[in-house]
Chain A
């Protein structure tokens, strides 16, 4: 009976069959002198005996043959028995005795982490990530229950179907449970002895934050991030995050949640001193040396002492692994990804999929276009690869595909149906005034004020189905759809210009099609600029905004009498634009009205630069006027043009149509994002209620539920224990996927031009997509978050992961822009064309391959970026 519970120092690497992979790994570390917190393992044999004791053979047989509808019930029967029945006395005594020894050695009561260590976790490709239970803050009274719950987690529907998918026999799987003292850490984190995203072996990545580590692993907090040189442990890059939340080690009196706010003074302070950073890196590298391969290490610092919590091989989930099990051919839907590369949270994904058009599919939270479905609908003879390339690049060029005669009749019928359904809409949206969708704001307020509406009702009302008495309901989305016509108008403009003035500058259509008045996002930019001017008027306000972090500055401004005019203006700005946000398609993203500090951050960016946006606007307007003059001169050589000017008039009409539809596209987005804001408020109200009822424990967890789970929690059948593991698993998966980013295509190869990097004439060549013409050479400045890293010197090249309106001020000083995602139509491209600077988008891994200070050459005509060798500096 003794071998059913073993101390960690009694097990080693070869005992995985007895104590599971995690237990064996920890034992190996303890035996080799690594500073692992003390603990013991309840062996897999104990689970086997308990399973036998419960006589679950019949239930297991039933599960093996269960039809899909009965599957979940069969799982819950086994799980329920494991979790509810008391352990046999002898086994319970052994576990409690081992726990007693831990307390005895410590000399005071302790809290423990109880973690599953399944024997099947060693099975090659099967990772079982997040499927098995882990419980923190367990005291003696809860210990046996949590051990049983760990065993029960082996029979969750997710774990069972995962085993079935990977051909693992249920009867062959067993589970040990690791019980370990929890370290009340002041700082904790994870480190990787190789870059888990790029695979670079010369880097050590360390992420750290205040408090206990669980919140970092499942993404509840954004940690500080350090990249160290492997050789001399010199810090290569570091990013100090705004650490708003931490998991407290101890519950204070009257406190019922461990996730607490970080005190103001600590938020932007580095969580690791240089000495501790070095200690963490050294221990991580020792782990790698011991295990012989790159390690993913979880650690904690308590009273200045380093503790190793876990070390396992890095499971590099490359982009190419994502969607490997998906059949079909898919290419990334860039209009959404260009705003942010993270996947949607499950709740946002569910709601977005409800309103998307057929032919789109969500894969791991990213939207993809079904290439074969689109190919079937097109009247062209085109290969899936060529179509995928065109769908992915979203360029202004129209491909020269041959028409397929055999497809024409069916498509004619389909085209007629499309025309009949949408003809009225197309006519209605031909010449809408700029404020045509203003009444949508009133509808949003009405829906927001109606407590009887759930998120789906609100979604349907605000974005899908109008009422006869309130027809604006679905107009923003419909207008957005109808505005796609700008593509055909742009094509027409291009043909007219190239026919009559073939030698006109290459970007003539782009210049003619830009410069609309009344674009709401541009007005928003001007609004922020006006706020900056207001702040500039008062030395005290300017000082506060520049000197303090945005949250702190806002708090201080509210207490300052001099700042009242500025605050009134800020409130006015938020009344109009408060529904906008960074990553605004994601429901989890706080809106500006919830956190005005983000706007203050943008105001600060404007204060740091001298140039006003109007200078760039004037520059672009002058270029347009010059181009029209040039065009007129060229056209006048053609017959009758001098007398009637018909050709010029036609070109200007086509250009006006392009500008109009581009404006409608941008403005309609302004409004349907307003609808998303109402949905978020609705979800937050439900979250507050569920947290009050104890059905949810942590802010933001609600976004990791699916809609049917949310309704299940509201209606009653589901409770916190049912969703706890799912939320944790999804959070972990979400953070992993966010780091990886989406693969550009699934099930189909895109051309080599999208390859990440190549050596070319001594420089590293990164290929992307041309978004704004021109060539520029200068120093790179990698900026990951516009609210934190804002030191962009005039003339530097902005290198960014994505851009949205929050990035606008940085474009005013940049010499050129390089962005990891995006298309010709993305925010970066549009803004760069307006400001007349070269821009290349869709440059894979640009923020990782280019380092701040690198000298780079940006070619906005070819869509390429060259990282120049160091000697070129001279």
Chain B
């Protein structure tokens, strides 16, 4: 049962990480009109941040750890996407030159 709960907490952590990152992207996405959009952007960040905080606080220790692992794993995965894309593009450019 605990294992099942931990898996569920990990998945929930992943999902909330996605929501949080999307909310944080709002800063860059709406930077050009941040004077008008600051409320919407900060509301998104605060809402998802608070949700994450409250859920983590309510959880028992082993489930909480799985939840935080879910959050961090997706964050790391997401952050690795850009360098991976860069490497892929660089490799294609090299292939192009040697054609």
Contact = CB atoms under 8 A, between A and B. Distances in A.
B22 A427 contact: yes
A574 interface: no
A413 interface: no
A257 to B, nearest CB: 31
B81 A465 contact: no
B33 A708 contact: no
Contacts of B25: 424, 428, 471
Interface string B67-99: 000000010011001100110010011001101
A335 B85 CA distance: 25
A133 B54 CA distance: 77
A444 B74 CA distance: 32
A455 to B, nearest CB: 12
- Complex A-B, nearest 10 residue pairs according to Cβ-Cβ distance, in ascending order: A427-B22, A471-B28, A439-B32, A423-B18, A424-B22, A424-B21, A428-B25, A428-B22, A708-B99, A424-B18
24 contacts: A354-B92, A420-B14, A420-B74, A421-B81, A423-B18, A423-B22, A424-B18, A424-B78, A427-B18, A427-B19, A427-B22, A428-B25, A428-B26, A428-B29, A432-B29, A435-B33, A436-B30, A439-B32, A456-B93, A460-B93, A465-B89, A466-B82, A707-B96, A708-B96
Contacts of B93: 456, 460
Contacts of A420: 14, 74, 77
Contacts of B22: 423-424, 427-428
Contacts of B30: 436
Nearest to A431: B40
Interface in A441-494: 456, 460, 464-466, 471
Nearest to B19: A427
A438 interface: yes
A460 B89 CA distance: 8
A38 to B, nearest CB: 45
Interface string B13-45: 010001101100110111111000000000000
Interface of A: 350, 354, 420-421, 423-424, 427-428, 432-433, 435-436, 438-439, 456, 460, 464-466, 471, 707-708, 711
B14 to A, nearest CB: 8
Nearest to B22: A427
B72 to A, nearest CB: 14
A681 B73 CA distance: 43
A439 B18 CA distance: 24
A464 B96 contact: no
Contacts of B18: 423-424, 427
A711 B97 contact: yes
Nearest to A471: B28
Nearest to A433: B33
A456 to B, nearest CB: 6
A345 B93 CA distance: 20
A708 B89 contact: no
A465 B96 contact: no
Given A354-B92, A471-B29, A708 B97 contact: yes
Contacts of A436: 29-30
Given A460-B93, A464-B89, 4 more contacts: A423-B18, A424-B21, A439-B31, A708-B97
A786 B82 CA distance: 44
Interface of B: 14, 18-19, 21-22, 25-26, 28-33, 74, 77-78, 81-82, 85-86, 89, 92-93, 96-97, 99
* Interface of chain B: mostly helix, strand, loop or mixed: helix
Contacts of A432: 29
Contacts of B85: 464-465
B46 to A, nearest CB: 16
A465 B78 contact: no
A538 B52 CA distance: 64
A319 B77 CA distance: 47
Contacts of B96: 350, 354, 456, 707-708
Contacts of B31: 439
A435 B18 CA distance: 24
Contacts of B21: 424
Contacts of B77: 420
Contacts of A423: 18, 22
Contacts of A708: 96-97, 99
Interface hub of A354, A428, A708 (most chain B Cβ within 10 A): A428
A456 B89 CA distance: 11
A460 B85 CA distance: 11
Contacts of B19: 427
B32 A438 contact: yes
Contacts of B14: 420
A165 B78 CA distance: 47
B29 A465 contact: no
B20 to A, nearest CB: 10
A469 to B, nearest CB: 9
Nearest to B86: A465
A66 B74 CA distance: 52
B86 to A, nearest CB: 6
Nearest to A466: B82
Contacts of A421: 81
A465 B93 CA distance: 13
B42 to A, nearest CB: 16
A870 B2 CA distance: 82
A694 B85 CA distance: 38
Nearest to B26: A428
A439 B32 CA distance: 7
Contacts of A460: 89, 93
Contacts of A350: 96
Nearest to A707: B96
A395 to B, nearest CB: 32
A421 B82 CA distance: 11
Nearest to A435: B33
Contacts of B86: 465
B17 to A, nearest CB: 9
B58 to A, nearest CB: 24
Nearest to A425: B22
A119 B74 CA distance: 66
A488 B92 CA distance: 33
B33 to A, nearest CB: 7
A456 B19 CA distance: 34
A250 to B, nearest CB: 41
A465 B82 contact: yes
A465 B78 CA distance: 15
A422 to B, nearest CB: 10
A357 to B, nearest CB: 13
Nearest to A712: B97
Nearest to A470: B28
A436 B31 CA distance: 10
A423 B11 CA distance: 14
A482 to B, nearest CB: 12
Contacts of B99: 708
Nearest to A711: B97
Nearest to A467: B82
Nearest to B73: A420
A120 to B, nearest CB: 28
Contacts of B97: 708, 711
A307 B31 CA distance: 68
B45 to A, nearest CB: 13
Interface hub of B81, B86, B96 (most chain A Cβ within 10 A): B96
B10 to A, nearest CB: 13
A70 to B, nearest CB: 15
Contacts of A427: 18-19, 22
A460 B33 CA distance: 26
A432 B33 CA distance: 12
Nearest to B21: A424
Nearest to A350: B96
A424 B19 CA distance: 7
Nearest to B92: A354
A467 to B, nearest CB: 9
A680 B21 CA distance: 35
A456 B22 CA distance: 29
Contacts of B89: 460, 464-465
